[in-house]
Structure 1
Amino acid sequence: MSATPPTTPADPVFAARMAALRRNFPFSLLGVMLTAGLVVAALWGAVPHEQLLAWVAANAVLTAARAWQVARYQQAEHDPDALRRWRRGAMVGAVLGGLLWGLPLAGWMLQVSLPQQMFIVVAMLTMGTGAIYAYCIDLGLLYGFQVTYFAPAILAMATLDDVLLRVMSAAGVLYLFVTLAFAQRMYRTQVDSLELRFENLYLLRQLRLEKDAAERSDLAKSRFLAAASHDLRQPVHALSLFVGVLRGQALPAASRHVVDSIGRAAAAMGLLFEGLLNISRLDGGVVRVKARPFALARLLDQIQLEFAPQAAGKALSLRLRAGDAVVHSDPALLDRVLRNLVENAIRYTARGGVLIGCRRAGADALRIEVWDTGPGIPPTEQEQVFWEFHQLGNPERDRTKGLGLGLAIVRRTAALLGHPLALRSRVGRGTVFSMTVPLARQALPAPEAPPAPLPADTGRLVLVAEDDGESRLGLQLLLESWGLRVIAAEGGDELLALAARQPGKPALIVSDYRLRAGETGIDVVDRLHEEYNDDAIPALIVSGDTDPRRLSDVAARGWQMLHKPVDPAQLQATVSQLIAP
């Protein structure tokens, strides 16, 4: 039996024992008085009445005193020192009770006839057996009563010149020994049960504390991810908006190429932040797989296009064998996995090249493979490479070689998608990572028509609330390049003041979700609707906060929501839809 773990300054097992003793006392005291009445009735003609009446009166006084002691339990139960004093008082009462019964009965046994002696023996055995059940939760109390109760009678019978009584005296000794041994077993069983009970309660409390700590940790993690999502997306969002403005300008071919390159880089950074944040939130079950059929070749072509300069910079070849397969998966998550695999392959390959290939895996699946001619992965490391922050050949933790998160993200995402992931490698020859993806069982949906551009002379008024200065300026320039009139401010108060100077109602309200001083985009839109007395004015919430509760709050009001960084084409399509007459 393990030791009882500490819980409070008071021993909880001792406190529980005293509570059980308190519950047993009323029945034992009532039994004392009832048995005393029977003894008086049986010995009334054999023992002087004065002795019997004095004995009964003494029992009544002692029983009343012990009952008063029992009543004081409620004052002592929450104070360890007081509870121990209460127990000492109960022990004194038990010893006095044993003496008050043992001495008179032993004396009367010498005076009465054999039948009455047999009655005294039976009465004593009855009381002694009852005491075992009443006091066995506290051995000190039980021993104090039983020894003082039985010892005088046993000694008295041993002094009589009667073989039967002497035999009964010896039997009394044996009875006392057996009952005390039995009481010891009962005591140990009850105490073990109490210790186990409190140990389980302690473990349950610890489990509850651990559960609460885990929930607090999850909540803190969710808050951190929401804040990180907002803060990381903000500069990328501003960059995307400025790129959208530049694309609308008349630029030379060389400048156009630079703008397109910046746009692709901004888009890649947006995908990177989106992927990392979503993967980090997998443990919370926030990321949901949005599987659909799509052409794999287009995704692989984009990956080859983006990583080709990186491979060329190391004099590596980057080849693609895509085919024309249509797979059923989440394109964003699958793209994240393959980007990590290709990026790792290029990073760790010094010469030769990287091949991205596809081959059938049965009738209804496709295996996507990323081959490299790198140093290979030893068999002892092929499990550890999937651990977070574990890297081969980077003991100095050179940040240019990555953070060691890529393959951990790959495994976690593949598991989420339900796509089996495999690794084959030979040291000195290279490595192959493969992932098996189901083929689509339905036709590829027709591509959506590109959004119709806004007419250049719309002149419609758009109110913008955005606390980030760069994002606010970029959004204003982009909307104005589409022929819209824009009033932009960092919060609701400023926007209301500026809008009050403009005639008419706005055609659209665009607001970041998280503004300054605890203000939200929902607050701003609600205030503007109230100001214009028109809840039908369309609203668009743009935010870097990916908390699902934000989506619910906005959707409940029937507004649209876009997540930063917003692609200018997507923004134009949404604005066109919202302000269409």
Structure 2
Amino acid sequence: MPLHPEDPASALRLAMDHIQLGVAVFDAGLRLVVSNRNYNHLLALPADLTRPGTALFDIALFMAERGDLGAGDAARLAIERINALTASPTTVTQRLGHGGQALEFHSSRLPDGGLAISFADVTAKVHVEQQLAQVNQNLERRVEERTSALRQVNAELEVARAKADASNHDKTRFLAAASHDLLQPLNAARLYTSTLIERAKSTAFAELANSIEASLTAVEDIMSALLDISRIDSGAIKPAPVPMAAQDLLKKTEVEFAPMARERSIALRIVPAAATVLADKAYVGRIVQNLVSNAIKYTPVGGKVLVGLRRRGNRWRLDVIDTGIGFNRDQHKLVFAEFSRLERGARMAQGLGLGLSIVQRLVTALGLTLELDSREGHGSRFSIYLPAVRHARPAGATELAAPEPGFGTLSLRVLCVDNERAILEAMEGLLAHWGCDVRTALSLKQIDRERLLEGWYPDLVLMDYHLDQTSGLDAIEWLRHNVGGHLPAALVTADRSPAVRALAEERGVAVITKPVKPAALRATISGLANQSGRGTQRPN
């Protein structure tokens, strides 16, 4: 039908019949004014219900009786449907059509009270929404399943971690207990050997005694390294950095390694430093021990080892420099690997190659920086960086940093207490050879029972930590209470835990670790003798 501009109503009716929406207009009495073709077709209305003047109620009742509006009383359903369309100025509702399609209705109240209704077949849209909802539901189900699986895996990992932690804790406890039991006889053996070495000088047995000492030292080094690695890997290390005087660390290094360097004809130079650093004394000390020990081991006879500090910004760089065999850049990672040593180094010194592995582990555990510079055939520089501290009072040294003693005869009264008779005998033999007046006891009860201190006042006491009925620190307190509050004392123990060292430091007690090194023992005794005012030696 052609459009005629002079007949706007016909043009509008033609346009309404060609749009996809179903459209109908009702007057204020809710009677049909006009509807388009799609309205009549989509609702499948009979011709008598599409005539102008048809009541909306009649149309709704017809659809209710046909079942379009669901189950129930048709009149009630028709009224409910009309109320839904007219309850608000505008409404949007959905329901199923006679053919099962999804219809979406938009209704608007007109200014004169009438009602305009438009609707469309949204079956495809609903189908897409349902598919999206199903996809979302599937995704949510898969997320929930994976989350549940992840929770299960996490729970299993947590159980496995707990078991691993318990296993590591048990291993650490076992190694600590085993190390104590193993180090006790090793300690006695080293003390006996030290006495043998001193008495066998210039005899045919000197070389044999030195060989035994070297073998015992190798066993001790291996045990100490394995214990350190176990302690680090099990997470037993709890760093406790405090302000400390770097000079205390340097002096302790000199006392410990000067005899070793002198024996190998190596010039060990410790550069004094008036620096205060923030460091864990025990573990940084262990790092420096390993670095200096390695430097001396792998420096040829007549070489040099230098230990000192340099200021670098707000940090101090602690250097251990040697004129040893060195290595090239391609071998840097190799030197830090466990049980790995360079061929030339293996020919120069015994061991398992664990020292630098321990250094790297400790540096990582303490959050420090390790720097390495080396040239094959020219030497190496190993450096660690320590935070500088200003205007802080350094913590007291746990161990005495006495100067390296001479080789004169000591004139000291020494009380030794240990629950191992073999250790007491070995200690007594060594100290007596140094000119000491020695008394020994297995326990405090023996001291009291045999009245060992009657008429005999010790200049110092060397006390085992793990006694049968009390700790060595408590035993020292008992002795100080009964003998004298200023009695100098050293704790001799195979327990290398920081906790024991901290307790000893609080009570003003030095610490000597087993197996006892004669040089360290003599240095500690000299320091304790200075405390008691008996720091003199008779020259041989």
User: What TM-score does the superposition give when structure 2 sets the normalisation length?
Assistant: 0.51
The answer to whether the aligner puts 1:432 opposite 2:380 as a matched pair is yes
Residue of structure 2 aligned with 1:403, choices 329, 347, 352? 352
Local SS of the residue matching 2:496: coil
Q: How many residues align?
A: 392
Amino acid at match of 2:295: L
- Structure 1 residue 188 displacement after superposition: 0.6
- Structure 1 residue 562 displacement after superposition: 4.0
Provide the rounded CA distance (Å) in 1 between the counterparts of 2:402 and 2:267. Answer: 30
Q: Which residue is 1:137 aligned to?
A: none
- Structure 1 residue 455 displacement after superposition: 6.4
Residue of structure 2 aligned with 1:206, choices 156, 160, 164? 156
1:289-328 residue CA offsets vs partner (Å, 9 max, x unmatched) = 6742328599569757524655x7xxxxx56676665666
Local SS of the residue matching 1:422: strand
Amino acid at match of 2:165: E
Provide the rounded CA distance (Å) in 1 between the counterparts of 2:129 and 2:321. Answer: 80
Distance 1:302 1:198, change over 3 A: closer
The answer to whether the aligner puts 1:294 opposite 2:247 as a matched pair is yes
Q: Which residue is 2:101 aligned to?
A: 171
Local SS of the residue matching 2:340: coil
Q: Which residue is 1:121 aligned to?
A: 70
Amino acid at match of 2:355: G
Q: Contact 2:418 / 2:464 at 8 angstroms: preserved in 1? A: yes
1:265-306 residue CA offsets vs partner (Å, 9 max, x unmatched) = 789987886677456534532465674232859956975752
- Structure 1 residue 200 displacement after superposition: 2.6
Provide the rounded CA distance (Å) in 1 between the counterparts of 2:146 and 2:362. Answer: 44
Distance 1:575 1:521, change over 3 A: farther
Q: Which residue is 1:97 aligned to?
A: none
Provide the rounded CA distance (Å) in 2 between the counterparts of 1:524 and 1:477. Answer: 24
Q: Which residue is 2:292 aligned to?
A: 338
Distance 1:320 1:168, change over 3 A: same
Provide the rounded CA distance (Å) in 2 between the counterparts of 1:170 and 1:192. Answer: 32
Distance 1:375 1:353, change over 3 A: farther
Residue of structure 2 aligned with 1:471, choices 408, 415, 423? 423
Q: Contact 1:463 / 1:486 at 8 angstroms: preserved in 2? A: yes
Local SS of the residue matching 1:521: coil
Distance 1:336 1:180, change over 3 A: closer
Provide the rounded CA distance (Å) in 2 between the counterparts of 1:361 and 1:463. Answer: 42
- After alignment, is 259-268 or 322-331 more displaced? 259-268
Q: Contact 1:387 / 1:408 at 8 angstroms: preserved in 2? A: yes
Residue of structure 2 aligned with 1:187, choices 130, 133, 137? 137
Distance 1:440 1:167, change over 3 A: closer
Map 1:51-130 onto structure 2 (within 5 A): 114-117=63-66, 120-121=69-70
Provide the rounded CA distance (Å) in 2 between the counterparts of 1:272 and 1:207. Answer: 34
Q: Contact 2:222 / 2:352 at 8 angstroms: preserved in 1? A: no
Distance 1:402 1:210, change over 3 A: same
Q: Contact 1:374 / 1:431 at 8 angstroms: preserved in 2? A: yes
Local SS of the residue matching 1:384: helix
Distance 1:231 1:194, change over 3 A: same
Local SS of the residue matching 2:352: coil
Distance 1:286 1:210, change over 3 A: same
Q: Which residue is 2:118 aligned to?
A: none
Local SS of the residue matching 1:435: strand
- Structure 1 residue 542 displacement after superposition: 4.1
Provide the rounded CA distance (Å) in 1 between the counterparts of 2:307 and 2:531. Answer: 39
1:130-172 residue CA offsets vs partner (Å, 9 max, x unmatched) = xxxxxxxxxxxxxxxxxxxxxxxxxxxxxxxxxxx99523316
Q: Contact 2:290 / 2:355 at 8 angstroms: preserved in 1? A: no
Provide the rounded CA distance (Å) in 2 between the counterparts of 1:307 and 1:425. Answer: 22
- Structure 1 residue 337 displacement after superposition: 0.8
Local SS of the residue matching 2:236: coil
Q: Contact 2:306 / 2:321 at 8 angstroms: preserved in 1? A: yes
Distance 1:534 1:327, change over 3 A: closer
Distance 1:408 1:479, change over 3 A: closer
Distance 1:431 1:534, change over 3 A: closer
Distance 1:563 1:269, change over 3 A: farther
Distance 1:355 1:184, change over 3 A: same
Structure in which a larger fraction of residues adopt helix: 1
- Structure 1 residue 238 displacement after superposition: 2.3
Provide the rounded CA distance (Å) in 2 between the counterparts of 1:417 and 1:186. Answer: 47
Q: Which runs of 5+ in 2 are unaligned?
A: 1-60, 74-94, 104-122, 278-283, 535-540
- Structure 1 residue 422 displacement after superposition: 1.7
Provide the rounded CA distance (Å) in 2 between the counterparts of 1:301 and 1:554. Answer: 20
Provide the rounded CA distance (Å) in 2 between the counterparts of 1:371 and 1:477. Answer: 37
Map 1:505-544 onto structure 2 (within 5 A): 512-514=464-466, 521-522=470-471, 542-544=492-494
Q: Contact 2:255 / 2:404 at 8 angstroms: preserved in 1? A: no
- Structure 1 residue 553 displacement after superposition: 7.9
Local SS of the residue matching 1:432: strand
Amino acid at match of 2:245: R
Provide the rounded CA distance (Å) in 1 between the counterparts of 2:269 and 2:526. Answer: 35
Q: Contact 2:490 / 2:509 at 8 angstroms: preserved in 1? A: yes
The answer to whether the aligner puts 1:238 opposite 2:188 as a matched pair is yes
Map 1:208-223 onto structure 2 (within 5 A): 208-223=158-173
- Structure 1 residue 412 displacement after superposition: 4.0
Q: Which residue is 2:20 aligned to?
A: none
Q: Which residue is 1:386 aligned to?
A: 336
Provide the rounded CA distance (Å) in 2 between the counterparts of 1:200 and 1:277. Answer: 37
Provide the rounded CA distance (Å) in 2 between the counterparts of 1:513 and 1:390. Answer: 35
Provide the rounded CA distance (Å) in 1 between the counterparts of 2:363 and 2:312. Answer: 21
Provide the rounded CA distance (Å) in 2 between the counterparts of 1:321 and 1:502. Answer: 48
Q: Contact 1:368 / 1:434 at 8 angstroms: preserved in 2? A: yes
- Structure 1 residue 218 displacement after superposition: 3.4
- Structure 1 residue 386 displacement after superposition: 1.8
Q: Contact 2:402 / 2:526 at 8 angstroms: preserved in 1? A: no
Q: Which residue is 2:442 aligned to?
A: 488
Q: Contact 1:345 / 1:374 at 8 angstroms: preserved in 2? A: yes
Provide the rounded CA distance (Å) in 1 between the counterparts of 2:183 and 2:424. Answer: 14
Q: Which has the higher Rg, Structure 1 or Structure 2?
A: 2
Provide the rounded CA distance (Å) in 1 between the counterparts of 2:326 and 2:508. Answer: 53
Provide the rounded CA distance (Å) in 2 between the counterparts of 1:269 and 1:328. Answer: 35
Q: Contact 1:541 / 1:562 at 8 angstroms: preserved in 2? A: yes
Distance 1:408 1:398, change over 3 A: same
- After alignment, is 277-286 or 356-365 more displaced? 356-365
Provide the rounded CA distance (Å) in 2 between the counterparts of 1:381 and 1:238. Answer: 39
Amino acid at match of 2:383: M
Structure in which a larger fraction of residues adopt strand: 2
Amino acid at match of 2:246: P
Provide the rounded CA distance (Å) in 2 between the counterparts of 1:487 and 1:224. Answer: 28
Map 1:136-151 onto structure 2 (within 5 A): none
Q: Which runs of 5+ in 1 are unaligned?
A: 1-111, 125-164, 313-317, 347-351, 490-494
Q: Contact 1:232 / 1:273 at 8 angstroms: preserved in 2? A: no
1:371-398 residue CA offsets vs partner (Å, 9 max, x unmatched) = 5574843x43332332222333489x99
